[in-house]
Amino acid sequence: MAVPKRKKSRSNTRARRAQWKTSAPTLVTCPNRACGHPTLPHTACPNCGQYQGKQVLAV
């Protein structure tokens, strides 16, 4: 079985992990006037539980 010959240096490990990035999700404002919470598009609002005027989630 192939095994690593050398220990990965701290530098290499950190250089690799430096590429791990996050990105901000696209958000829209909840169309429910009473809520106005930022939500994911095409998704029921997690704050008020409505989607297209219909109550989808119990709040």
Binding piece for other proteins, criterion CB under 8 A, among 3-11, 16-24, 27-35, 38-46: 38-46
Pick from 35, 40, 53, 59: which binds other proteins (CB under 8 A)? 40
First to last CA, the chain: 55
Pick from 7, 10, 17, 42: which binds other proteins (CB under 8 A)? 42
Non-local (6+) Cβ contacts of 28 within 8 A are 38, 39, 40, 41
The least distance separating other proteins from the CB of residue 55, rounded to whole angstroms, comes to 10
